[in-house]
Structure 1
Amino acid sequence: MALENLFINDNKTLIHAWKLITLNGKNIVFCVNDDNKLTGVLTDGDIRKYLLETENYHVLVKDIMNKNFVYATHKEDKVSIMTKMNSRISIIPIVNDDFILVDYFEHKIDMYIPIAIPNLGGNEFNYLMDAFLSTWISSKGDYIKRFEKGFAEFCFQNNTESYGIAVSNGTVALHLALVTLGIGPGDEVIVPDLTFAATINAVLYTGATPVIVDIEEDSWCIDPNEIEKAITPRTKAIIPVHVYGQPCNMDRIMEIAKKNNLYVVEDCAEAHGAEYKGNKVGTFGNISCFSFFANKVITTGEGGMCITSDPNLAEKMRILRDHGMSKTKRYWHDFVGFNYRMTNLQAAIGLAQLERIDFILEEKEKLEKLYREKLKKNPLISFQKNDFPERKKITWMISVLYDGDKDKLTNNFIKNNIEVRPFFYPLSDMPIYKEYARSCSVSKEISAKGLNFPTNKIVNIELIDKIDNCL
């Protein structure tokens, strides 16, 4: 962690301090004057407490910082510094003889490492406050339009006319897409066995019958060969899931869909920015669906998006999303619709996230490279394949297969305050979905071995070494 991300001039505003805290991931900034002398410290808790008591978020740092704080000098050794640490103080500034900030010390042995942390180091706070002060806090507002347009253009890369339809979460994005395409009772929709339950639940919401098929052993994505075997006269759609940031084999899937006159709804919840043959996922199907849950590449807290290049589908989705109400005759309903709308407050956060999506993806990719380099000699670990010539996966989570006792390993992580998560259970293993499944031996094997490691901005070499020691 560079020191410049941990200190702030005490003449800056609270907003500047908040941005720096979200960027450094340490929950604190050290405050200095124009001569770089340490004058105080400010934590995220201090900021939250202040904002609960006042609306003045332009207050200067020096007016609210803690002036009575713990620090160390550059002459102190580690033992001396450690005596100043306690359960409330895990990081302290270090100064020289002139009280100029020169370094910091952090004690992380008992620090809990979560699997994911939202990266909120941009304009999120500014845009959110702007939306709040505008009073457009519900399902109308400029940020919704800007976020919809910007995200669709990010996916389609301005190569074609595109449309974004913001919704309240990724699950309803899938449901909205299927309903818009006319999927309903009597229809079959093919889904992969290794995916989050939202994929199959959305099919069941429509009254259609899901058909669960196996995955490719090397990509962990839906197997086109299994799709072909599962097609019947009742099949109406395929939902390829770009699982754990890995693109599916979209050439084969689109070829199968065209041959059999099937719709394709891409589930891109975990793959913002991933590419297949130079085109971003989400640009192949009739409609594509994204999630902006807090652990996704970019987030709106909760939220989702449908994107399409078909203006007629886009218009129908907007109507269905908004209670099925006529766009020209208020309170007149042409369809039985849904309240699947995103709020302007959520979209404000989403737009700020979208401005930094390339940076966020780059940082995640760097972290994965660090993991791969540090753990490459461990014979029990194999990383998600990332060298398909036609597929450019992104890093959503650091996803690996572990060839040892996964339960024992997970307990080791728990003891060390490190959160790891298993892969999704195969849908075919769960009694509520079992009747819809074909043979899915590959997904069962991958799921049994799969683990996701912490993938966030506070992970560094030391933490990865600690993870390696747990293996």
Structure 2
Amino acid sequence: MNTSLEHFLLPVNSTVQNALKVIDQNAQGICFIVDEFQRPVGILTDGDLRRAFLNGTKLQDGVEYIMNRNFTVLPFDTHTDIINGNLNQKIKHIPLVDQDGRLVDFANKFRTKRIPIMQPQLSGNELAYVSDCITSGWISSQGSYVKRFEEAFTKYCQMPYALAVSNGTTSLHLALVSLGIGAGDEVIIPDFTFAATINAILYTGAVPVIVDVDLTSWTIDPICIKKAITPKTKAIMPVHIYGHAADMDVIMEIANEHQLFVIEDSAEALGSTYHDQPIGSFGDVSSFSFFGNKTITTGEGGMLLFKDKAVYERAAILRDHGMSKNKRYWHDMIGFNYRMTNMQAAVGVAQMERVDDIVYHKRKIAQFYDQALRKYPSLQLHGEKDHTTNSYWLYTFLIKESSKFNREELAERLAKNGIETRPTFYPMHSMPIYAKYGRKEDLKNSIYISETGLSLPSYADITMEELENVTAAIATAFTTIAFNQIEN
């Protein structure tokens, strides 16, 4: 990362073209103009350059004629509180000088604080409920909070039966086993997803059948589902990726026509809806994840929702080692230890008390990003298809092939500004261990989304100032590219 001082310095006798190169190199929209003794004599921002070009400045003109000579400079040993007090929307970088006035460092808000891609919001009753578990001694899988968490989920997602489990991957595995899916059965899944989707199928001995996704929603393409059905097909597992609902009406029609199970992978979509109906309430079974970066979290954890009581009861036995409900330590079937602890559930109960507020703020974050980024034609926003509401687990967009820079270049620029980003998932077929389950030539949309997608900081309590800093850094990237086009 080019955040060291040397990548910001420009001799006073330099040209405007030299300034463009420095600003492009550090990706923070500024350079410090210094004299022969490395004393700061001016600063120059991308905004200064833009205004200079509008006034007729040429690339070979000297920076001394357009640099800003009225700038804030502080001693390098200035207290952090004073430095922060001088930083604002206009003054984003402050040169720091030694006792001889030589530039030795600089300050900005990101040299001490990064904007993470995601972080949990634990500002409610989480601590109080976990403390209750500890003081009462109910810390493992026995205790009232597990049942309370399950009840909160059935109410929120409008499904009759819920089962809390140890994590999202085990919930997918348990869903498949509880439906009787096993060796030789085929389960249709999207290519663009996280590996837990396909791994859970392989745990059962079933065969995943990878198909492509829709280029707008990034969810499984129903047309591809129809083409993939064979006599061995037993289930469809749509993934509501990045919070966007799959086309559940069509998927359920296909499933009903061919008598297939539907297992909703809703790990990233708590709070999303389809035709005003909660995601997770369409399939035979639906699965949720509460990993630390999910919409709500229990640290690790998952939840299963069921329509059929018999399937739910089978899953409950399988979750608890396959142990009989009527005869303790008697095992009716080979089961698993997939239970959630009471302490995890306590956190989940507290999170569910604020789930509407969390989803509301994540949608507001997405609206802010949409408004700021839709002006760039080379970006394709995720958005929402008709009859859906996206809970925006992670705000993610695509960088089109027409763009003058790629995802990695933009991610690097944002990293230099202290902004964490994340690329989209690799398509399943691209990894050798899964390659035999999909045909590359049939998976073009998944490949495109995987190669061009980038996620921005999306945690519910991100501040407006942090959002503005993210979008300002993206704007700087586009501005620098425009300068490069002038230069070339």
TM range (shorter): 0.7 to 0.9
CA contact (8 A) 1:90 1:108 kept: no
What's the counterpart of residue 196 of structure 2?
198
Q: CA deviation at 1:91?
A: 6.1
What's the counterpart of residue 131 of structure 1?
133
Q: Taking structure 1 as reference, are residues 334 and 372 closer, same or farther at Cα in structure 2, changes over 3 Å only?
A: same
TM-score by structure 2 length?
0.74
Q: Taking structure 1 as reference, are residues 129 and 259 closer, same or farther at Cα in structure 2, changes over 3 Å only?
A: same
TM-score by structure 1 length?
0.77
What's the counterpart of residue 292 of structure 1?
290
Q: Of residues 174, 189, 197 in structure 2, which corresponds to 1:176?
A: 174
What's the counterpart of residue 422 of structure 1?
423
What's the counterpart of residue 265 of structure 2?
267
Aligned length: 378
SS in 1 for 2:472: helix
Question: For the residues of structure 2 that align with 1:195 and 1:411, how far apart are their CA atoms?
Answer: 24
Which ranges in structure 1 are unaligned for 5 or more consecutive residues? 1-76, 94-105
CA contact (8 A) 2:396 2:453 kept: yes
Letter in 2 for 1:263: F
SS in 1 for 2:333: coil
Q: Of residues 397, 402, 416 in structure 2, which corresponds to 1:400?
A: 397
Question: For the residues of structure 1 that align with 2:190 and 2:284, how far apart are their CA atoms?
Answer: 18
SS in 2 for 1:409: helix
Which ranges in structure 2 are unaligned for 5 or more consecutive residues? 1-70, 87-106, 479-488
List per-residue Cα deviations over 1:43-89 (Å, max 9, x = no partner): xxxxxxxxxxxxxxxxxxxxxxxxxxxxxxxxxx9867996444x99
Q: What is the 5 A alignment of 1:436-455?
A: 436-438=437-439, 439-455=442-458
Q: Taking structure 1 as reference, are residues 92 and 255 closer, same or farther at Cα in structure 2, changes over 3 Å only?
A: same
What's the counterpart of residue 362 of structure 2?
364
CA contact (8 A) 1:112 1:418 kept: yes
Q: CA RMSD in A?
A: 2.2
CA contact (8 A) 2:420 2:457 kept: yes
Query: Is 1:464 the counterpart of 2:462 in the alignment?
Result: no
Question: For the residues of structure 2 that align with 1:185 and 1:306, how far apart are their CA atoms?
Answer: 22
Q: Taking structure 1 as reference, are residues 131 and 241 closer, same or farther at Cα in structure 2, changes over 3 Å only?
A: same
Q: What is the 5 A alignment of 1:70-469?
A: 84-86=78-80, 108-110=109-111, 111-156=113-158, 162-386=160-384, 388-403=385-400, 404-438=405-439, 439-456=442-459, 457-458=461-462, 459-469=466-476
Question: For the residues of structure 1 that align with 2:72 and 2:150, how far apart are their CA atoms?
Answer: 51
Question: For the residues of structure 1 that align with 2:124 and 2:428, how far apart are their CA atoms?
Answer: 38
Q: CA deviation at 1:414?
A: 2.5
Question: For the residues of structure 1 that align with 2:435 and 2:475, how far apart are their CA atoms?
Answer: 36
SS in 2 for 1:189: strand
Q: Taking structure 1 as reference, are residues 140 and 463 closer, same or farther at Cα in structure 2, changes over 3 Å only?
A: same
Please identify, of 355-364 and 306-315, the stretch whose mean Cα deviation from structure 2 is larger.
306-315
Q: Taking structure 1 as reference, are residues 128 and 90 closer, same or farther at Cα in structure 2, changes over 3 Å only?
A: farther
SS in 2 for 1:377: coil
Letter in 2 for 1:464: T
Question: For the residues of structure 2 that align with 1:90 and 1:186, how far apart are their CA atoms?
Answer: 65
SS in 1 for 2:256: helix
Q: CA deviation at 1:466?
A: 2.3
Question: For the residues of structure 1 that align with 2:297 and 2:243, how far apart are their CA atoms?
Answer: 15
Q: CA deviation at 1:309?
A: 2.3
Letter in 2 for 1:229: K
Q: CA deviation at 1:460?
A: 2.8
CA contact (8 A) 1:270 1:296 kept: yes
